[in-house]
Structure 1
Amino acid sequence: MMRTLLFVICSLLVPVALSAQQAHFTKLHWAKADSVAACYPRHAVTDPKTLSDKLTRSLTTDAEKFRAIYTWVCTNIASDYSLFRLNQHQSNKLKDDAAALDAWRRQFSRRVFQVLGRHHRTVCTGYAYLLRELARHAGIRCVIVDGYGRTVQANIRGEGDVNHSWNAVQLDGQWYLCDATWSSGAIDPAQGIFIKNYDDRYFLADPAMFVRNHYPVDTAYMLLKDKPSLQAFLYAPLIYGNIYKYKAMPVSPSTFDVEVVKGETVMFQLEGEAVGSVTVRSGSLSEDVAVAPEGDDRYCFDYTFTARGRHVVHVLIDALYAWTYTVQVR
């Protein structure tokens, strides 16, 4: 998904408490908050205090108030592909000229907020900024987190690029992570259009899963005691948002690039609370595999590579893409 931007807005850095996730709010019903958000389609964002008051005044808990704000932002703000491409082009062009790049970022920031205010379109920093401002007017502590967003097009191997922004929010004394940009929908790069598709999988997300494609510059905002290194992040299997449905993640092989000998059987391990049918797909070939439990929410399956060459290998759960490897068969 091409929803990244090499553009940084400074955020207030604060000490981060122990991790938390959406599961802690399962007793809350989000329906009321979501219905409030639906009452104000296309509301102006030039006066965030008025909008925040409308979204939160009928709700009693900070969690519900933040949910209404988050839902409104994700369903009313669109990603602007032309802005993304413009910034990507200029950032690449000026990457070796720090002064010129800094001047471009200042100029571009003004354009981002003009487009957001006039047309309800933006890029990731616009989403993160608006979410922070609406939360602030509701008395909710929310900060912008800058870091490395990992997608099919970005931060695969290499040294990594700081290309994305998201938020951390404090509710009931705990810190949570969310990404309004990725919850709002996706850009279709072939058509150059934004496809709206609100999905709350990145709302108060599990930090252990969130860090698989969000690596913060300030690692305190991982909300994890055991923090992966940036290199481990950049060279890990590429995961997709569908893992949130099953709370499933790859364990072994632990790297994106795998080398095997022709005819060698490789054992793949994964962990998750619930795992459906698993399919391995490489090119036009798909094969359902038998998954065996190993205990403690861990599962494994074997797969034999019979053709030499470099293969892009996808693991699907219930026909949904979960993660991807590249496999070099010697």
Structure 2
Amino acid sequence: MKYFLCFLFIVFSLQITAQKSDFKNLNFEKSDNTAKLLKGENLYNLPLLTYNLTSKLDTDVEKFRAIYTWICQNIKGDYYMHRKVSKNRDKFKNDSISFLDWNKEYSKKVFKKLLKNKKTMCTGYAYLLKTMSEIANIECRIIDGYHRNTFANIAELSLPNHSWNAVKLNNKWYLADATLSSGYTDLSLDTFIFDYNDGYFLTDPKIFIQHNYPLEKKWTLLNPELSKVTRFLNTPLMYGAAIKQKIYHDSSSKMNTEISKNETVNFHYNFLEPLALDKIELRVDEQSSAIKTRVTQISKERNTFNISCNFNRKGLYDIHLYYKNEIISSQSIEVKNKI
């Protein structure tokens, strides 16, 4: 027996401008090919490596792209280094001075391992991108803050757990996250898998804030209303595929919602690029059971779609949006007799 019905309808809203689209007239093929030609180069002479990556490129954004792509395709993430830092961050969470002392000493090992083995964690990615960009005379900053995942920064901020970059191109600041672009660790194989995600390259800040939040609010690159920390903490959980496909939630969507039985919920989604309607799927899970609801209509000229679901049985439901069989977002609905 099915306990709810789901419908799709389209609403119109103004499309935001993706940051990478500022350079839509540029073709990054030359930058990407340059990075591929230098695959496997070591880090012992960063000025020479940076020169070889950028000397034949005309614009700063093309040069930054070549550096960024090379890092993402050549530097492996070190999960065990990340775990060690996280463990000590928790250990010293009430003693920031002791953690800073420990971190200062451990940073020496981090950068030694980066240089020798081309393996690192987020701080190493951000440091390398900043250093090579500055060698190429491109202004770049390391941004420390919070990354949101299933274990951290849900509803309330945990300890800072991530670093990324802001880069200045044509007198305008942009955001980029080489760590999350590069790939992931397959723990079952105990190995890092290179899996480039272009979505984290010059990401629109309105999308970026649903994944990362800086210690300094100004680096959200958003106005005060849009840069509220609640926008980061309370929206549904977004995954890497969401930023790759440029799908995001609007400000009205919440991670956890309580409703009364027989109430209808509208799930709002926005997108910046055309979607294949037959590849969109909503999965509604209740304990061990699940119902898959495939979207059957969508306007490729709009950038917002809603899926409307009626829940007529009490329970806790996990709502997952999938696109091309990749999970996009998750949120929860608790249905009560009456609220």
Smaller-chain TM-score bracket: 0.7 to 0.9
Matched with 1:233 is: 232
Distance 2:326 2:141 in 1: 32
CA gap of 1:174–1:307, structure 2 versus 1, over 3 A, is: same
Q: Partner letter of residue 43 of structure 2?
A: V
Equivalence for 1:197: 195
CA deviation vs aligned residue, 1:227-273 (integer Å, no higher than 9, x gap): 33213311211112333455332237521001122332212222224
Q: In structure 2, what is the equivalent of residue 155 of structure 1?
A: 153
Residues 1:250 and 2:236 aligned together? no
TM-score (structure 2 length as normaliser): 0.85
Question: What per-residue deviation string (whole Å, max 9, x for no partner) do you get for residues 38-90 of structure 1?
Answer: 12222221321111111111111111111110011000000001101111112
Rounded to whole Å, the distance in 2 between the matches of 1:88 and 1:190 is: 20
When structure 1 is superposed on structure 2, of 135-144 and 39-48 the one drifting more is 39-48
Q: Is 148-157 or 161-170 further displaced after alignment?
A: 148-157
Does 302-311 or 129-138 show the bigger shift? 302-311
Specify the SS of the correspondent of 1:208.
helix
* Counterpart contact for 2:68–2:178, Cα < 8 Å: yes
Counterparts of 1:26 and 1:197, CA distance in 2: 23
Bigger mean CA deviation after superposition, 280-289 or 148-157: 280-289
Contact 1:309 1:329 in 2 (8 A): yes
Paired AA for residue 138 in structure 2: I
Q: Which residue of 2 aligns with 1:10?
A: none
User: Contact (CA 8 Å) 1:291, 1:300: kept in 2 or not?
Assistant: no
Residue equivalent to 1:321: 327
Q: CA deviation at 1:189?
A: 4.1
The alignment's C-alpha RMSD in Å is 2.2
| 1:206 aligned partner | 204
Post-superposition offset of 1:170: 0.9
Return the offset for 1:307. Answer: 3.9
Percentage of matched positions with identical amino acids: 35
d(CA) in 1 for partners of 2:18, 2:319: 33
Kindly provide the CA deviation profile for residues 180-217 of structure 1, in whole angstroms up to 9, marking residues without a partner as x. Answer: 00110012345543211112111111111111111111
1:50-199 aligned at under 5 Å gives the runs: 50-199=48-197
Q: How does 1:289-304 map to 2 (within 5 A)?
A: 289-290=295-296, 297-304=303-310
What SS does the aligned partner of 1:166 have? strand
Return the offset for 1:123.
0.3
Aligned residue number for residue 318 of structure 2: 312
Instruction: Answer yes or no: is the 8 Å Cα contact 1:75–1:196 preserved in 2.
Output: yes
Task: Give distance in 2, aligned partners of 1:202 and 1:98.
Answer: 30
Residue in structure 2 matched with residue 272 of structure 1 by the alignment: 271
The gaps in structure 2 that reach 5 residues or longer are: 1-16
For 1:103-149, what per-residue CA distance to the aligned partner results, in whole angstroms no more than 9, with x for missing partners?
21112211110110110000001000000111111111111111111
* Secondary structure, counterpart of 1:38 in structure 2: helix
Could you give the per-residue CA deviations for residues 2-27 of structure 1, whole angstroms, max 9, x where no partner exists? xxxxxxxxxxxxxxxxx971111111
Q: Cα offset for 1:171?
A: 1.1
SS across alignment from 2:94: coil
Higher RCO (CA-CA < 8 Å; seq separation 6+): 2
